[in-house]
Homo-oligomer: A and B are copies of this chain.
Amino acid sequence: MRAKTWALAITQSVLLSATVHATESNTQWVDTFIGTGGDGHTFPGAVVPFGMVQLSPDTDNPMRGVSPQPEIYKRCAGYHYDDHTIVGFSHTHFSGTGHSDLGDLLIMPMTGEVKLDAGNAENPDIGYRSRFSHDQEWSEPGYYGVDLLDYGVKAEVTATTRVGMHKYSFNKAKQGHVLLDLTSAIYNFESKVIWSDIRKINDTTLVAYRATNGWARNRQMYFAIEFSKPITDYQFYNLDNNRYRCMNCLGKDSKHSTIENTAVKMTAGKAVKFVASFDDLDETPLLVKVGLSAVSRKNALENLKTEVPNWDFDTVRANAKSQWANYLDKVDVEGTKAQKRQFYTALYHALQAPNIYQDVNGQYRGVDGEIHDGKGFEHYTLFSLWDTYRALHPLLTYIDPDRVSGMIQSMLVHYQQSYEKMLPIWSFHAHETWTMIGYHAVSVIADAYLKGIRDYDIDLAVEAIENTANNPVYDAIPEYKKFGYVPMDVLPESISITLEYAYDDFAIARMYEAMGNTSKAKDYYRRAMSYKNVFNKETGYMQGLDSKGNWDPEFDPFEAKYMGPYTEGNAKQYSFYVPHDVAGLIELMGGDDAFEARLDALFDTHLSEEMIKEHEDIAGLIGNYAHGNEPSHHIAYLYNYAGKPWRTQERIRQIMDTLSSDKPDGLAGNDDVGQMSAWYIFSAMGFYPVAPGDLSYAIGAPQVPEVTLKLANGKAFKTVAKGFSDKNKYIKSVKLNGKPLNRSYITHNDIMNGGTLEYQMSSKPNKAWGQSKTQRPPSLSEYK
């Protein structure tokens, strides 16, 4: 949000919408540009909470196989803050991913000569792209606007759950065009579009379809497009011998043919585009509605007509904002503007996915490719679980427990519909990509179940967890069960997989324990100890081990090579991945002091440039601690388990100060569909779920003066950081509802009971607080 124009935007919404909040909502603090610089990979466009449509400007669409990979990686979300041209507005975007796809149905308004190719940023005039300036760019939750400088067109977009709405003010131009480019895509490559079609069904309405083969194979998307003014002229283009041939122009200039009915207002193929031309654009802005569906054109039309029945851009925009206000106002933050901007933008980014993937009539496309009637629950997609089980899903249990049940039910139908009988791993848009490792869906389910969120089929959940954790076709599970670890001669990333399976098994054990199934709980608690099998006491690291029991002879604790024993990380980082039994890990590593030294070594080691370059996904470094990637996210909290919470307090402040800001490049790495943001939110409140499912939160150090979390049970949980300042980064003492809290963790019940967690901050550490073993966060070896 650019400050100057924001006030005007608000005023408009208030005037034009009855549903907008009467008082200033926390939406005012969101800056949708945070994360659009650096490698945050967020997008600045219009989306409602958990919306199916993410309508956002794409600043470039470099082609795989043509452009260098970093150029493509930079634009995982379509938009990058460094760019100076916009190629158009597309309707689907990931928020913060490290690989990408989507960018469905790019629409671009233009004036003058019709251009069919986007051109390039160096010479924008040769293509349809337009220059833009951040000074003439505006956004707020659910809204984005920009002046397209090359055309004198002000383009604005807003959205409902399933519909994107565009508003193009052509100003002085009487005539103009709107291009629909069905070839444009994110992480695009030459043959990515498998098939597409577009059809004009009357003077204002089109329907379109596209199947792409990207991260998801043969991903289906249907579109209904409606214009507020009649199309006065139009051209269908279809790639023919490497040039775009106008399909219907032939009918004007020369004879029709009886072979190809050029009078039929549609074209289909592997590369098609459509240009609509309009008159009288100087009178009122041109509005465009785009309904999406993964099921059918008919559903796309129904979604459009149901969610946006009228031509009232401002009401749609106000409603989108109102939805965000409802969510963002669940949390009240006191602090500086910068702190509020960071906090609420993090919350905004945390509430985008998993997103609705279902039509208004209930139908959705399942991972089996079939159309299902999703009566009785909301169906969600986009489970970036290797990232989000850590903090995002635990956060959602407080922000919107109802949606958590819907997300779990969605994972359960995924299980049922999957041919492999697996819960999702990294799935989106009816496809399992098998990206990353672990079976972390079980962590999400167990954490929610243990917190009493149970509005889904519990028996099915147990079945799904069992079949997932014992699945014969997934990443060496049979060998994991047989050897107690994944042998490095069976599968790459064997150490990371072993450690993450062990944690997941802990979560399963916890759930069985809560259900009273002690026998099953015991089995999984045993599996949860598998981490010990890959700890080499000689080297002191979690180290590759083959099926004959030989340690990896080429072991290098700094090595983070692709398809090595670790996943987007090295032994230095992954050796700390025993979140459910840190006490056991400390014992293996030689006790509290040795453990502290190991943690310090991680943070303080100077890393070679070579190692830093090794992988694009390891970013946000403090020494060898990589805040930009998930395997590090719990590590700063581990000092608590060694009785040194003041060291955690130091590290959290260090991370916040060096790797986080309210600027476009304010994210230390990919936001990873909200996980990075969820880390920030928990950490800013002063605690973090180190091992989701154990229902405890290690206390770090609050990073904002005050946060009030309004819970779904009607209670509120408030954190107050008394004396919080730049200097006062340490905790002197803690009170929970007025009573001294000497343990260095809080529990889920502490939160749900409501009340106030009061930290007394200090410039000096209180080394006594949380020091004794009973005051440390729980660990499996201890509480079992």
Contact = CB atoms under 8 A, between A and B. Distances in A.
B473 A264 contact: yes
Interface in A216-251: 217-218
Interface stretch (A22-30, A254-262, A396-404): A254-262
A217 B199 CA distance: 14
Given A194-B195, A371-B371, A255 B434 contact: no
Contacts of A419: 199, 201, 264-266
Contact of A476 (B256, B296, B436): B256
Contact of A258 (B195, B368, B567): B567
A255 B489 contact: yes
A606 interface: no
Contacts of A195: 194-195, 211, 213, 218
A114 interface: no
B369 A296 contact: yes
Given A218-B268, A268-B217, A370-B296, A258 B473 contact: no
Interface residues of A, number: 51
B257 A209 contact: no
Given A298-B370, A370-B296, A370-B297, A420 B256 contact: no
A437 interface: yes
A494 B260 CA distance: 15
Contacts of A270: 191, 194
Interface in A301-351: none
A473 B200 CA distance: 12
Contacts of A567: 258
A435 interface: yes
A255 B199 CA distance: 47
Contacts of A194: 194-195, 211, 270
Number of copies: 2
A414 to B, nearest CB: 14
A476 B261 CA distance: 10
A563 interface: yes
A423 interface: no
A260 B257 CA distance: 47
Contact of A255 (B191, B209, B435, B492): B492
Interface of A: prevailing SS: loop
Contact of A256 (B268, B368, B435, B491): B491
A192 to B, nearest CB: 12
A607 interface: no
A497 interface: yes
A263 interface: yes
A648 B269 CA distance: 50
A189 interface: no
A490 interface: yes
A435 to B, nearest CB: 7
A489 B255 CA distance: 7
Contacts of A298: 368, 370
Interface in A10-67: none
A302 to B, nearest CB: 11
A256 B201 contact: no
A171 B384 CA distance: 53
A671 interface: no
B473 A255 contact: no
A758 interface: no
Given A256-B490, A490-B255, A563-B257, A473 B217 contact: no
B257 A369 contact: no
Contacts of A211: 194-195
A209 to B, nearest CB: 7
A450 to B, nearest CB: 29
B473 A265 contact: yes
Given A218-B268, A261-B475, A298-B370, 11 more contacts: A191-B270, A258-B492, A259-B434, A259-B435, A260-B434, A261-B473, A264-B420, A265-B419, A265-B473, A297-B368, A298-B368
Interface of A: 191, 194-195, 197, 199, 201, 209, 211, 213, 217-218, 255-261, 263-266, 268-270, 296-298, 368-371, 419-420, 434-437, 472-476, 489-493, 497, 563, 567
10 contacts: A194-B195, A194-B211, A195-B211, A195-B213, A255-B492, A256-B492, A258-B493, A264-B419, A296-B369, A298-B370
Shortest Cβ-Cβ A-B pairs, 3 listed: A261-B434, A263-B473, A256-B491
